[in-house]
Structures are given as C-alpha cells and as structure tokens.
Amino acid sequence: MRPAALILALLVLVAAAPAEAARKRAKSPRLKAFTSCANLISYARRHAPPPRPIARPLPPRIPLPEALPESGAEGGGAAPDSSTTNVQEAGVDEPDIVKNDGRTVYAYVDGRLHAVDAASSRKLSSVAIPGAFGDFLIQGRRALTITSGGKGTILTEIDIANPAAMRVLRTFNVDGSYVSARLHGRTVRVVLSSEPRALDTPIVVAARKPLRARRAGWVPSATLRNRRTGRKRTRPLVACDDIRRTPRFTGAGMLTVLTVDLERGLPAVDSDSVMTNADTVYASPTSVYVATSGGWLRDDTSIHRFDIAGPQRTDYRASGQVPGELLNQFSLSEYNGVLRSATTEGFDEDAQSHVTALQTRAGRLEKIGQVSGLGRGERIYAVRFMGDRGYVVTFRQVDPLYTLDLADPTKPRVRGELKILGYSAYLHPVGDHELVGIGQDADAQGRREGTQLSLFDVDDPANPRLLHKVKLGLETSSEAEYDHHAFLWWEPLRLAVVPVTDFDGDAPAQAIGFRVDRTAGIAEAGRTSEAADVLRTLVVGGRLFTLTSEGLHAYDLNTLAPGPLTRF
C-alpha cells in the first residue's frame, strides 16, 4: 500500500473509532449525576428549547394513565374469603379506586374516600380528598391517596385506624403529573413526570428574558401541609446532586421516584430523579422500572431500574434501551434477575415485535438475548410473562397467540403459535397451564364484533389451544380490556367477573359472572343490574360487590342475586 493510502486509511480508522465508541455508549448508557445545582441549571439552559409562550392562569395538569390499560396473583392482604386488587406481581400492590381489609371496603369516588362495613353494608364515614382523578393504597392504619391538583400531584395521608371516623392528616403537593405507584410492604414508591417551570413563561416575559437561572425553574418542588396544625412548608423535591441525566439530551422533563414510608407518613423520606420523561411503570419485588418511549435512538424505549431493597430509600441502578415501544406494564417482567420486555417496532406492514432479555451489568441494562419477527405487519395487544414462559398476542386481522420459551434468557425462542379471529387485550393465568383472555371478537377482515372471553390451554407450549370462548354481544365493551384492575378472578369458584357495557339499545350497565371449566366450558353464572357503569367488582366476606358512581352494591356470590345497595 502506498504511504498516502496508508495514511488515509489510518485517518479513517482513527475518525471511525470515536464514532463507534459513541454509538456503543449510546446503546448502553450509564446515567451521569449532576455535581451541583449550578451544573444542572447550566446544562438545562444550554440544551432546552426556547420557553413556550403561554397565557396565565395555567390549566391544571391531568395525570398520565398507564398505556391501555409475574404470574397473575392478587395483591394486598385481605381475608381468605375476600379478594384483593388484581395485580401483576404477587406481593407488589398497585393503587386502585377500591380496597378492602376483609371487613371494611374503602372506595374513592367523586373526590371522596368512603368506608363501608362489608357485613352490614352500612356506610361508616367518608372524607373529602383534595384534587381529582385519583386512586389510593392502604397499609395498616394509613391510606395514601394520589390525585391531580392544580399544576401537579397531591399525596394525601389519611388515618383509617377507625373507619367510622377517617381523617386527613397531611397533604403533600408536588410538581409533576402522576404516572403510577407501587406498595412494597410498608413503603410506597410514587413515580412522577414533570416539566420545568422555566419553560412555562408568560408571553410578555418570554420575549424579554432568558430561561430562568434559578433552581426553582428547573427542579420540582413540594409543599407539605399538616392538617392538624395548619403549618405549610415548601422545599425542593430532590437535591440537585441526586438528579441524573442521560448521555444525550432527551428533554428537560424530570422523572422522579418518591419513597413514602407509611409507618412514618408524609413527607417522602427519599427521592430520586432522572432528567427525562416517564411513561410506563413496572415493579418486581426487588426493583422498580420506569420506561420512556424514545430516547437515545429514534424508535426505541429507554428503561431505568431502581433498587428498592431498603424500606426507606430507592436507589438508581442501571439504564438501557430496547427497540420499539411497550404496550403497558405487562410488557415488562423480571425473573431470576433478568428483565424481559415485549415491544413493537415500526408501523403497518413494516411492524414487527421483539422479546428482549436484559441484565444489569456495571450500571447498564445490557441485552443478553432477543427473539424478533413476531407478528410481522401487526402490533402487540396483550403480553403475559409467567416464570420462564412468555405469551404475546399480536393483531391486525387475526390474533396470533405466541408462546415463548425463556428458560435460557440468552436464547429466547418462539415455541408455538395459535391463530384465531379477534384478539385478547388482557391475559390472566388460571392454574399452571391455562389462560383466560378478555378482548374483542373480529371477522376475517379484522372488524371488531364485541367483547369475548376465551380459555386457552398452554400446557404444551409448542401447541397452544383455544378450549372455549363466549361472546358477550356485538356492541359490547368491557373496562377489563383496558384496565386489568377491573377483572376479577375468584379461584375458589373458578369464577370470572367482568364489567360489561352494551351500546346496543337500552341494555343496563352490568357485571357478568362466568364459571370457567376446562371440560365444561365457560358458563354464565349470573348478571348484576346497575344504574351506572360498573367500575370494579370484588369479593368481601363471601359476598360479591360491584362499585359504581352510585355506591357499593352487594350480591350473592353463588347466584348473583342482588342484596343491599350502599349509596355514597
């Protein structure tokens, strides 16, 4: 090789090396902590877009819901003859609009928390909760409601030691929209997503002043109010040196995880922040994962892992990316220290789905295995991970149910596929080798034809089978298709209860119970009749209850014969 050519080749290699190194770092980023408030403000002002011209007063921010809406265990701690919130992970409770402790039913409806004695159906007390659009968690003598209010989120601590005399103890107003929360033992982790106030600049000021150079413009704040003393205290929600950023600027928004010890009450005992947005929350017994669509690559999802081993702290551990977008929290699952994700990449005919296995290594969530090409031209409609197996539903015209072998996370593989008309939007495990699916029936062209309930046999992963299905009506829909908390599975009676709305004619709002049997099929057990849409169903003290905006309605669990209605 001539000297000039050799020199040119060396120059190309030298130039390519940093680019290749940068590309690898971008794919496996390690978050960097800000060293000071001055460092954070300088970085944010340098990278953030110009202030958004807005007019005052600012409109209230609405909480961000989980998208559409291992093992389908029910969480909480109710008595054996009572159900609990339908959660994704055993031992990890999720906030909802109704809870019970086996004796008392607590329901958040129309801005009030109500307590009802389950045995007598007598309303015990109710208390006004500041804010709106909320849900709550209970643990021991305390309830924590999480609502939207003004420009942010309101956490309210309520004493429920005496359900007949509930009282608000403290409120904690924090900057940012509520994403989701999880309860581990006595500790709640609340995930918020906030936009810096420095970008919310009035029109007149925006033309004359640069972005704020004060911490208050970039770091979210919180105000604690003691309802007994009337005292208020405002402070930054997180210290500047506890905030991290991604290697590439992905927005000036702030993902914050608050740690609330319910034995101590408000305020939060710990907080951790990342300068990015927050879309989806999943929690295992040992970790909380927060995912954000988009990031270091264009069509990808960034995932941040937080360790929750200590009851009074939450520690950032690692970050990584997967191709495409998550459907919802069920698209993530941790098993034996490995995080599995199911994502869809691309659109229309170019769409395909992936299942990716990631493991924490030196501050990074690194890909250790992946299977791709699921449902080409289709998108994911439901996911369920159960131990070393995974189940993925994709849909465009027909519903392929894919079974995956994840026993070796470095070599995940598709074992079987079942194609039927329609799709399942939620999959619930019943027993070791059966799945109940709730979703929509469809014709050969993919037109939806109402809610259906299906029972799948997945004992042989290479040969999944549809055992039975029942259609609920051409113009029907169920809240359980979008929110898994609306689905009730009562194992002692093999009873599935789903709220149903029929848009055809004057059909009443109702919940329908089904006996689900591998051999006998899916048989209707009874229907409730309500004056308003059924929000939730639950079992307490051996009776079935429906929750609507009107109140709590009791039914016989075996026959669904109506009992007393407790009005709110």
pLDDT digits over 165-200, tens only?
A: 999 999 999 999 999 999 999 999 999 998 876 666
Distance CA 178, CA 308 (A): 19
Distance CA 6, CA 304 (A): 44
Q: Which residue is listed with tokens 């979008």?
A: 482
Position 200 scores a pLDDT of 61
> Residue 216's CB: how many other CB atoms inside 10 A?
14
> Residue 42: CB partners within 8 Å, gap ≥ 6?
none
Distance CA 68, CA 440 (A): 14
Task: Spell out the CATH class of 422-568.
Answer: mainly beta
Position 493 scores a pLDDT of 96
Position 14 scores a pLDDT of 41
Closest-CA residue to 105 (of 429, 539, 448): 539
**Does residue 375 contact residue 417 with C-beta atoms inside 8 Å?**
no
Cα-only R_g, the chain: 25
Position 31 scores a pLDDT of 77
Position 27 scores a pLDDT of 45
pLDDT digits over 426-469, tens only?
A: 999 998 899 999 999 998 888 888 999 999 999 999 999 999 99
Spans of the chain below 70 pLDDT: 1-30, 48-79, 197-217, 248, 250-252, 295-298, 398, 505
**Does residue 258 contact residue 272 with C-beta atoms inside 8 Å?**
no
Position 245 scores a pLDDT of 83
3-state secondary structure of 264: coil
- Domain borders along the chain are 422-568
3-state secondary structure of 500: strand
Distance CA 466, CA 457 (A): 6
Q: What is the DSSP string of 452-465?
A: EEEEEE-SSTTS-E
